Chains A and B, each alone.
Chain A
Amino acid sequence: MCVISNSFILDDPDLKDIDPTVLKHCHAAAATCILEAGRQKADISAISTCLEDCKLDKERIEQFCTEYQKNKDALEILLGSIGRSPLHITDVSWRLEYQIKNNQLHKTYQPSYLVTLNVENSNSGSHPDVSFSCTMEQLQDLVGKLKDAAKSLERATQM
C-alpha cells in the first residue's frame, strides 16, 4: 500500500491548536477508510452505513461522501496503477539507414532499421530503452504479429 505523507496536516495553520498525536490518528483513520473504500469499490450507501456505525453525525457523513465522490475516479486510477507488471512500452522510435560500407566490408548496400522501444518500469518509472536492429523483412514480421494481436483484441472486445 502506498504511504501517504501526513506532513501537510501537521503544518496546517488551522489545525495548530489540536494535539499532534490526535491529528495523526485522525489522518491515519481517514486515509485507511478512504483507501479501503477505494480498494473494494464501495458505493456511497455502503460508506454511509459504515460511518454511521462509527457514530459520525449526518452532516459529517454527507461532507465525507461528497468529497469521496469527487475524487473517486482519480483514486481508482491510482490504486489500479499500484502493483507489479512487466516493463510497459510507452512509445517507439525508428531510424532507417542504408549501409554502404564498414571497415570490414565495403559495398554492403543494405537498408536496415533501428527500432527503439521506450519502456517504463511500474516501480521505478524509468528503464533503459530496448533497442534492436532489423531488416525490412524482420520489421514486416514484427508489424504482422502486432497487427494479429490488435485484431485479437478487437475480437475480444466484441464478445
Chain B
Amino acid sequence: AGGAGRRGTGPGSGPGRKLNIGVDIIQHGVEGLVYLLTESSKLMISEVDFQDSINVLGFSDELNKSLLQLYLDNRKEIRSILGELAPRLPSYHSLEWRLDVQLASRSLRQQIKPAVTMKLHLNQNEDQTAQVLQTDPATLLHLIQQLEQALGEMKMNHCRRIVRNMK
C-alpha cells in the first residue's frame, strides 16, 4: 500500500478484479491509507496516539496492528520525502580554493597582490551550481573569525537551553 501511495492513485483494474470490488472503493481506500500515513508521519505522532486514532474507525484488532506496523516501518522514509518539499535556499555542498599572486596587469606592472580564489559548490533543487569567488588575505581572516563565532553559538548556554526545552 505504501508503494501504491507513492506512485499516485490511478484506477487500478488489477487489484479490483482480484478482490472483486469496484475501482472507486480501491481508489478511496488507497487515498485514505496515504492520508493516514502521511499525516501521522508529518506530525510524528506516538504509537499510543496512532492506535487511539484508528480505534475509532472500528477495524479488527489484527488490522489495527498491521496499520500500526505499516506506520512505524515507513515513518522515517515518508518524513524524509516530506522534508524535500519544504521551502529551501541553495545549500552548501563544498568549497575548492587556490592561492594566487597577481604579478602584473595591463594597467600596472610589477605587482605582488596575493588573493585566494575559491569555487563554491551549492545545491539548488537538484541542480548543482558552482560560483567562482575571490578574496584578499585580510578579508579571509575576517571570514574565518566571523564563521567560527557562528559555530560557537550552538555551544552557548542560550542555544543549549532552547534545544533542550524544545524537544
List residues of A whose CB falls within 8 A of some B CB. Answer: 1, 38-41, 76, 79-80, 82-83, 85-94, 96, 98, 100, 102-109, 111, 113-115, 117, 119, 130-134, 136, 138-143, 145-150, 152-153, 156-157
Contacts and interface: CB of A to CB of B under 8 A. Distances in A.
Given A92-B147, A132-B89, A136-B154, A156 B99 contact: yes
Contacts of B65: none
Nearest to B132: A86
B106 to A, nearest CB: 7
B43 A107 contact: yes
7 contacts: A88-B136, A89-B135, A132-B92, A132-B120, A133-B88, A143-B147, A146-B143
B62 interface: no
Interface in B140-154: 140-144, 146-148, 150-151, 153-154
Contacts of A41: 108-110
B79 A149 contact: no
B140 A146 contact: yes
A106 B92 contact: no
A94 B131 CA distance: 19
Interface residues of B, number: 59
Contact of B89 (A38, A80, A133): A133
A130 B143 CA distance: 14
A interface, by DSSP: helix, strand, loop or mixed?
mixed
A89 B89 contact: no
Given A39-B108, A80-B105, A117-B133, A150 B150 contact: no
B107 interface: yes
A97 to B, nearest CB: 11
Nearest to A38: B108
Contacts of A132: 89-92, 120, 122
Contacts of B117: 86
B127 to A, nearest CB: 13
A156 B107 CA distance: 26
B42 interface: yes
Nearest to B115: A85
Contacts of A156: 99, 101, 114
B53 interface: no
Given A146-B140, A150-B141, A130 B131 contact: yes
A80 B132 contact: no
Contacts of B151: 136, 139-140, 143
